[in-house]
Amino acid sequence: MTAATAARFVEDATLLNAARRALAIEARAVESLGARLGPEFVAACRLCLACAGRVIVTGIGKSGHVGRKIAATLASTGTPGFFLHAAEASHGDLGMITANDVVLALSNSGESPELVFLLPHLKRLATPLITLTGNPASTLARNATVSLDVTVPEEACPLNLAPTASTTAMLAMGDALAVTLLEARGFTATDFARSHPGGSLGRRMFLRVEDIMRRGADLPRTAPTATLAQGLLEMSRKGLGMTVIVDPADTVLGVFTDGDLRRLLDRQVDIHALRMQEVMTVKCRTIGPHELAAAGAHLMDQHRITVLPVVADGHLLGAFNVHDLLRAGVM
């Protein structure tokens, strides 16, 4: 019987037990890191906070993959940094490292040849070196400015070979470093949004009403003397679920919405006889064009409405509804 065939007969309980064992081992590996935090971790933080250049993260193999994530987390949380592939360093990329930088090197063994090769060059530049290693007696650890111990008693791999618990511990320590630096710098949600303009937080923090509002020919507007039937036709053409009642100078007088229509129809009114000025809501909710789109979403939620006219100095500039907010990723 081949291994593939045998795998089909593995019981569900066996699969679940293997997963639980792996998770338990990795959880213990992360939990054990807390007891090792001390002066070395503080010193690593101080080096990064004092860094006038970049925190350059480097590694090889699985540690390199973890390093890429740590570098990305540092960069997005207020600590400028990037990832340097250890194998490429000796082929020209070493020029990316300066004396103003700090190097964060990841190696479980602490003996990765590509990283050990960097040591004399870093010493010549007087570039501080922080290491994350599972071997405190290794070449990298002994030559580091600060070495953080991420030793794990065993890998989650039943063969104790594949980097699993060790890479999880490295990743967790890197996150701990990034978050500690974030707090020390007083990094805020606004700062985070500036480095994530394409994310949902960035859109909520920076997208303005004027960026999403409908304007010009797409904007439903009706004269106060127009009939209700004419107003309904304008609402139907523009598809915003309302029309804004304005005078010839585009001064906002009121609004008429789908909700207003439903309430009127209950009274069996004549839509050809009534004028918009008779049925409009005069004290309507509006918002300015320079307000955050997220503020518009909050206003809609607070007052249980689905559309807002955009007004400046009493004049109609635009309008948007909840669907515009959804398309923009604000809600």
107 and 225 in a single domain? The answer is no
Specify the number of domains making up the chain: 2
| Inter-residue contact 300 to 322 (CB < 8 Å) | yes
Return the pLDDT at 9.
76
Q: Which residues of 226-236 are buried (b: 16+ CB within 10 A; e: fewer)?
A: bbbebbbebbe
Q: Tell me the per-residue pLDDT of 71-80, one tens digit each, with 9 for 90 and over.
A: 999 998 889 9
Token digits for 174?
């890197």
Residues near 310 by beta carbon (within 8 Å), at least 6 away in sequence = 209, 210, 213, 286, 287, 288, 289, 316, 317, 318, 319, 320
Token digits for 204?
């909520």
158 and 246 in a single domain? The answer is no
Q: Tell me the per-residue pLDDT of 210-255, one tens digit each, with 9 for 90 and over.
A: 998 998 889 999 999 999 999 999 999 998 889 999 999 999 999 9
45 and 178 in a single domain? The answer is yes
Evaluate whether residue 202 is within a structural domain.
no
Q: Among all chains, which residue has been given the structure tokens 């990283």? A: 115
Q: Confidence band (pLDDT; 50, 70, 90) for 207?
A: confident
DSSP for 218-274? GS-EE-TTSBHHHHHHHHHHH-SSEEEEE-TT-BEEEEEEHHHHHHHHTTT--TTT-
- Other beta carbons within 10 angstroms of residue 156's beta carbon come to 24
Provide the domain limits for residue 147.
Answer: 10-187
297 and 162 in a single domain? The answer is no
Strands annotated E in 40-110: 55-59, 81-85, 102-107
Q: Confidence band (pLDDT; 50, 70, 90) for 197?
A: low
CB neighbour class for 120 (10 Å; exposed up to 12, middle 13-18, buried from 19): exposed
142 and 245 in a single domain? The answer is no
Whole-angstrom CA distances from 162 to 23, 116, 156, 208 are 15, 22, 8, 49
Return d(Cα 49, Cα 46) in angstroms, integer.
5
Least confident of 22-36, 186-200, 247-261: 186-200
Return the pLDDT at 40.
97
Least confident of 41-45, 87-91, 202-206, 232-236: 202-206
Token digits for 129?
């070196």
Evaluate whether residue 271 is within a structural domain.
yes
Evaluate whether residue 251 is within a structural domain.
yes
40 and 81 in a single domain? The answer is yes
CATH code of 256's domain? 3.10.580.10
How many Cα neighbours within 13 Å face the side chain of 189? 7
Return d(Cα 296, Cα 210) in angstroms, integer.
11
Return d(Cα 56, Cα 68) in angstroms, integer.
10
90 and 221 in a single domain? The answer is no
21 and 140 in a single domain? The answer is yes
15 and 130 in a single domain? The answer is yes
| Inter-residue contact 129 to 145 (CB < 8 Å) | yes
45 and 106 in a single domain? The answer is yes
pTM assigned to the model: 0.66
Provide, for the chain, the percentages of residues in helix, strand and coil under a 3-state DSSP scheme, each rounded to the nearest 5: 50, 20, 35
CATH code of 36's domain? 3.40.50.10490
Coil, helix or strand for 182? helix
Round the average pLDDT of the chain to a whole number and report it. Answer: 90
- The answer to whether residue 267 scores a pLDDT higher than 80 is no
Q: Tell me the per-residue pLDDT of 128-166, one tens digit each, with 9 for 90 and over.
A: 999 999 999 999 999 999 999 999 999 999 999 899 999
165 and 285 in a single domain? The answer is no
- CA neighbor of 78 nearest in space, from 54, 46, 104, 99: 54
136 and 233 in a single domain? The answer is no
Evaluate whether residue 95 is within a structural domain.
yes
